[in-house]
């Protein structure tokens, strides 16, 4: 049977690959190659970009792909739109896996912004010592923020660390206790994060709430209109229906 191409790089993608492989589905997981030592799911793996929409179309044709599942990070929007365009052009069905965004709860002080640039612009008006958890690729957006000491947490070091910034290398999941310790040790007065959703990294929000800290929350960009599941298990059910069709 022609394989399912699973665009991955997330814990949901790994969980889905596991479920599909266990169910006897042939899966090729695709990773962008951003993380030096990625956690690898079961099944086949390919690593690196496809070369835009045209490259992905060629890959779908060459590998006789029957179904694509987009389980990339909610902020990997370029890949999601490329997949949408390539699948439409090649008449290959596409399913999305998107964990729901975090929602503010009682006691939260969120300052919602549409982009990283808007977060950087707002930051000096909110705090003086920021914990940045936006991912290493996004650090450049904060390079010129005036009057704010940056503590950057990332899995791998960013290519360029902004002058004076501190780096904390760590990979989630984190507990609320971990996060409280980090926030207190660095005397953080504002948290900056993308609204990734999920439980792997949500403890920082609980910790910020407990300490009464504001959170600059970068909202998600629009996602292509495709059938979408919120969890790996729900996605596995959609895959099984699609493969029967
Ligand atoms: P992006 O901006 O949407 O993608 C940029 C380019 O990277 C794509 O056009 C594609 O290159 C390549 N790419 C992205 N995901 C890929 C995949 N799963 N397989 C093969 N190529 C991929 O995405 P990004 O922000 O660079 O994120 C890259 C990876 O990191 C994704 O797997 C994502 O799930 C993971 N990630 C991202 C974030 C985030 O906040 N952005 C956070 C955690 C993990 P071509 O055009 O050459 O095909």
CA 76 vs CA 43, 84, 183, 201, 224: distances in Å: 22, 13, 27, 17, 12
Q: How far is residue 119's CA from residue 207's CA, in Å, rounded to a whole number?
A: 20
What residue's CA is closest to ligand 1, atom 40? 75
* 59 ligand 1 Cβ < 6 A: no
* 32 ligand 1 Cβ < 6 A: yes
Q: How far is residue 75's CA from residue 223's CA, in Å, rounded to a whole number?
A: 9
What residue's CA is closest to ligand 1, atom 43? 73
**25 alpha carbon to ligand 1 midpoint, in Å?**
24
* 79 ligand 1 Cβ < 6 A: yes
Q: How far is residue 211's CA from residue 205's CA, in Å, rounded to a whole number?
A: 10
Q: What is the DSSP string of 46-74?
A: EES--SHHHHHHHHHHHTT--EEEE---T
Q: How far is residue 22's CA from residue 17's CA, in Å, rounded to a whole number?
A: 8
DSSP-based three-state secondary structure for 179: helix
Ligand 1 closest atom vs CA 10: 34
Q: How far is residue 55's CA from residue 167's CA, in Å, rounded to a whole number?
A: 36
**77 alpha carbon to ligand 1 midpoint, in Å?**
8
> Which of 32, 43, 48, 198 for a ligand 1 pocket mutation test, highest count of atoms within 8 Å of Cβ?
32
pLDDT at 36: 85
* 141 ligand 1 Cβ < 6 A: no
What residue's CA is closest to ligand 1, atom 35? 9
Burial of 239 (0-12, 13-18, 19+ CB in 10 A): buried
Per-residue tens of pLDDT for the chain, all 245 residues? 569 999 999 999 999 999 999 999 999 999 999 888 888 999 999 999 999 999 999 999 999 999 999 999 999 999 999 999 999 999 999 999 999 999 999 999 999 999 999 999 999 999 999 999 998 889 999 999 999 999 999 999 999 999 999 999 999 999 999 999 999 999 999 999 999 998 888 999 999 999 999 999 999 999 999 999 999 999 999 999 999 87
**78 alpha carbon to ligand 1 midpoint, in Å?**
7
Q: How far is residue 108's CA from residue 206's CA, in Å, rounded to a whole number?
A: 9
Full-model pTM: 0.88
CB atoms within 10 A of CB 78: 12
């Amino acid at each position: 049977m022609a394989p399912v191409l699973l665009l991955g790089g997330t814990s949901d993608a790994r969980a889905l690959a596991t479920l599909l492989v266990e169910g006897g589905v042939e899966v090729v997981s695709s990773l962008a190659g951003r993380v030096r030592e990625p956690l690898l799911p079961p099944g086949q793996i390919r690593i690196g970009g496809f070369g835009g929409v045209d490259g992905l179309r060629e890959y779908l044709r060459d590998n006789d792909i029957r179904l694509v599942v987009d389980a990339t990070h909610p902020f990997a929007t370029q890949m999601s739109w490329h997949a949408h365009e390539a699948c439409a052009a090649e008449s290959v069905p596409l399913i999305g896996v998107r964990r729901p965004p975090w929602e503010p709860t009682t006691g939260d002080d969120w300052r919602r912004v549409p982009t990283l640039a808007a977060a950087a612009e707002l930051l000096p008006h909110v705090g003086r010592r920021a914990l940045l958890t936006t991912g290493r690729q996004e650090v450049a957006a904060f390079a010129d923020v005036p009057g704010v000491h940056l503590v950057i947490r990332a899995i791998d070091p960013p290519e360029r660390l902004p002058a004076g910034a501190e780096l904390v290398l760590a990979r989630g999941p984190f507990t609320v206790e971990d996060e409280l310790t980090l926030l207190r040790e660095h005397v953080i007065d504002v948290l900056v994060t993308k609204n990734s959703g999920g439980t792997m990294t949500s403890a920082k929000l609980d910790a910020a709430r407990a300490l009464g800290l504001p959170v600059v929350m970068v909202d998600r960009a629009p996602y292509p209109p495709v059938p979408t599941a919120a969890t790996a298990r729900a996605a596995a059910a959609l895959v099984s229906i699609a493969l029967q069709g």
